[in-house]
Structure 1
Amino acid sequence: MGQPLILHRYINRQVFLSTVMVTFILVMVLVSGRFIKYLAEAAAGEIAADALFLVMAFRMPEFLQMIVPLSLYIALLLVLGRMHMDNEMVVLRAGGQGHGRIVRSLVVPVLMATTLVGLFSLYVTPRGDAEVNRIFEEQKDRSVLELLTPGRFHVKGSSNSQRATYAEHLNREKGVLENVFVADARFEGQGEANRLLTVWARSGKLVQEEGISYLLLTDGFQYQGKPGQRDYKEIGFKEARVRIGGEKSDSRPPKVRGRSTRELIAERENNHEALAELQWRLSLILTVPIMALAAIPLARVNPRQGRFYRLIPAVLGYMMYVGMLLVTRSAIEDYSGVLPWYLNMAWIHLMAATIVFLLYFGSRIFRRRAAA
């Protein structure tokens, strides 16, 4: 009992440390990219700066549920590949510790990772996405008085249009902006502005009508024309309305992802989006044991080949596996009518399990057939 226990501790410690290290690196890469995107939205005024870290915190479980299976998979490839390179596997087999013992040694870390991903996928992530949706709804309906910083230009738009807003002062007690400047530009395909609308007003305040937010400007002038030409029109006004807000951010997760697993189970028969989300959550859990079992034979390398000989093909295989699940999820969501029998993520898991089975026993089966 002593030698197997020492072996379990040795492998588990190496796998745990490698998984933590790989997870940290992947989280930093993924979170950094997402944080930069949210930071750009905060700079554009789509979300408040104080809500930025809340959004990142609520999205973290979603990041981890995607990263942990890959991290464990890469950690197993690295640890077992190093053991093959250092001939530790040869020593273990000579001592009677074969692949069966290695598989049993990995039961604990695989179960821990599966439980963690299951907890995130089924319970934590849906609540986090629901909170993210709530925050974005609050940000969408925020007052322009909260978006605008007095003395600074607030720029917002897309590839074919852009708006710049400026207010010299902000009277928070009256809720009034003073000396407001608004410029709307529409661009052609070459990036040149084909229309420019500029508005200056002595004051402005927020009004709402039928759920739409407007900036009510008073005592101002409107200038409209095309840059480079002399046909500008000047119009004075006592009151004018400029629609604000209403832009939706593509960083917000779909609302179906914020629903609880129990709700998805109840709606799966009549709602393709709910069915696709439910299958995706279960698929994330199944990827952990399937890919962990695949890592054991894939990590088997010859010392002359190098420990990274099979790492890149193995990671590409994992990305193809997850990519097929994502494609199937999108196909289920977009399909209209009764789903065909083949449009199900279960077939992808069955195919992956078959490949893992062949990695373990394929050579024996082929040898027996050849001998027969």
Structure 2
Amino acid sequence: MPHTAKMEQVRAGPTLILHRYINRQVFVTTVLVTFILVMVLVSGRFIKYLAEAAAGQIAADALFLVMAFRLPEFLQMILPLSLYISLLLVLGRMHMDNEMVVLQAGGQGHGRIIRSLVVPVLVAVSVVALFSLYVTPRGDAEVNRIFEEQKGRSVLELLTPGRFLVRGSDGSQRATYAESLNREDGYLENVFVADARFDDSQAGRVLTVWAHTGRLVQDENGINYLELRDGYQYQGKPGEADYQEVAFEKARVRIGSENTSSRPPKVRGRTTGELLESPGDNQAVAELQWRWSLVLTVPIMCLAAIPLAKVNPRQGRFLRMIPAVLGYMLYVGLLLTMRSWMADSGGERPWYYSMIWIHALAAVAVFFLYYGDRLWRRRRNT
């Protein structure tokens, strides 16, 4: 018995070293790839939000809060791709350096490689599941709440002196401008307001107001107004000569009514439990299947990475990188397309509108990556 236990330890020793060797390289590469992809994605999204802040659609002090709540959503999309790319890079390098040849000669085939990747795959699956099923929906709900609050903020709060602020809906639009802000007295100076309507009997007519000063006031009903003093009002249709000019000493313009109506919470901001309780809602079903699909992509694509990383040392380690990444993009693109079809389907959803078929197709493709050559040779020999 002691001799048998010692032999088992001798056998387990190289396997444990192999597991640690691969896991360490996969972990370091995944962290680096994730960091690079997160920086690229966050930078692009931050520029988009920065443009919205410059246009007055969102306050500048809410930008970083929005980005913080959106970060789990970015990570749940990037982590499966990062792990997939890291496996291609690490295993591809091992093929280039003939390490795989040595391992296979020592009896360490695909089965051993797969077992050595169990830990990083389980960690990635757990993180993606935690984000997609719990953390990201809460973050999206908070982002939606922030944007709803920004829509309810008054024009005066978002108005930057020296810059036009344009807000409105499909039927009307308002442009507001103030040359400067007297912070001590709380007055805007040289205020310009232009209202244009497009969907009623007054369509095409523009109401323009200029005033020497303006300040925010509130009536007894809690309605906010911009009180203008010493100004002029012009009303008419551009291109026509029937403009009306009215001078006033004091006038009030209601602010906040140009905002669009509050939208209902987005389906992606609903918790997983709420989605499970709405089996008849196509949007809820599509979102629920999408969340589970993000989890399933991790093991499927990790299994695909092992045969895809196999390259001839004379061919170059990046020979299969581009088609492998394109295959991943096709996989995720099909899932996104199916989610849109499921969410947009009216009435009863067709039975074939399900993401399970895409996962089944991906599983079949992975099967042929492992056994396609063997089946082809067997068919040729028969």
Considering the TM-score relative to the shorter chain, is it more than 0.5?
A: yes
Does residue 364 (structure 1) correspond to residue 371 (structure 2)? The answer is no
Does residue 351 (structure 1) correspond to residue 351 (structure 2)? The answer is no
Give 1:146 deviation, angstroms: 1.8
Give 1:9 deviation, angstroms: 0.6
CA distance 1:341–1:239, change in 2 (3 Å) = same
Write the mapping of 1:66-215 to structure 2, written as runs, cut at 5 A.
Answer: 66-149=77-160, 151-156=161-166, 163-166=175-178, 168-170=180-182, 177-183=188-194, 198-201=208-211, 202-205=213-216, 215=226
Give 1:371 deviation, angstroms: 2.1
In 1, Cα distance between equivalents of 2:72 and 2:219 = 36
Does the 8 Å CA contact 1:272/1:333 hold for their aligned counterparts?
yes
CA distance 1:216–1:6, change in 2 (3 Å) = same
Give 1:95 deviation, angstroms: 1.1
In 1, Cα distance between equivalents of 2:222 and 2:339 = 34
TM-score normalized with structure 1 length: 0.87
Q: Rg: which structure is higher?
A: 2
- SS of equivalent to 1:153: coil
CA distance 1:127–1:179, change in 2 (3 Å) = same
Does the 8 Å CA contact 2:338/2:353 hold for their aligned counterparts?
yes
- For residues 151-196 of structure 1, give each alpha carbon's deviation from its aligned partner in whole angstroms, at most 9, with x where no partner exists: 43243359x97724115335688x7645422246899xxxxxx987
In 1, Cα distance between equivalents of 2:130 and 2:243 = 62
Aligned to 1:281: 291
CA distance 1:183–1:301, change in 2 (3 Å) = same
Q: Which of 256, 269, 276 does residue 258 from structure 1 map onto? A: 269
In 1, Cα distance between equivalents of 2:345 and 2:149 = 32
Q: Which of 47, 56, 71 does residue 58 from structure 2 map onto? A: 47
Write the mapping of 1:282-321 to structure 2, written as runs, cut at 5 A.
Answer: 282-321=292-331
In 1, Cα distance between equivalents of 2:266 and 2:294 = 19
Structure 1 alignment gaps of length 5 or more: 188-193
Number of matched pairs: 361
Write the mapping of 1:220-239 to structure 2, written as runs, cut at 5 A.
Answer: 220-224=231-235, 233-237=244-248, 238-239=250-251
Amino acid at match of 2:339: R
Aligned residues with identical type, % of pairs: 69
In 2, Cα distance between equivalents of 1:163 and 1:125 = 35
Does the 8 Å CA contact 2:178/2:189 hold for their aligned counterparts?
no
TM-score normalized with structure 2 length: 0.85
In 2, Cα distance between equivalents of 1:77 and 1:186 = 57
Give 1:236 deviation, angstroms: 2.5
In 2, Cα distance between equivalents of 1:358 and 1:89 = 21
Structure 2 alignment gaps of length 5 or more: 1-11, 199-203
CA distance 1:337–1:364, change in 2 (3 Å) = same
- SS of equivalent to 1:182: strand
Aligned to 2:22: 11
- For residues 253-278 of structure 1, give each alpha carbon's deviation from its aligned partner in whole angstroms, at most 9, with x where no partner exists: 961111110000001x2211111100
Does the 8 Å CA contact 2:335/2:358 hold for their aligned counterparts?
yes
**Could you say what the CA RMSD is over the residues aligned between the two structures, in angstroms?**
3.1
Give 1:225 deviation, angstroms: 6.4
In 1, Cα distance between equivalents of 2:260 and 2:21 = 51
Aligned to 1:326: 336
Amino acid at match of 1:156: V
Give 1:222 deviation, angstroms: 2.1
CA distance 1:210–1:280, change in 2 (3 Å) = farther
In 2, Cα distance between equivalents of 1:34 and 1:208 = 39
In 2, Cα distance between equivalents of 1:288 and 1:216 = 58
Does the 8 Å CA contact 2:19/2:117 hold for their aligned counterparts?
yes
Aligned to 1:191: none
- For residues 229-285 of structure 1, give each alpha carbon's deviation from its aligned partner in whole angstroms, at most 9, with x where no partner exists: 987643324435355465569xx9961111110000001x22111111000000000
Does the 8 Å CA contact 1:121/1:281 hold for their aligned counterparts?
yes
- SS of equivalent to 2:277: helix
Does the 8 Å CA contact 2:176/2:191 hold for their aligned counterparts?
no
Aligned to 2:4: none
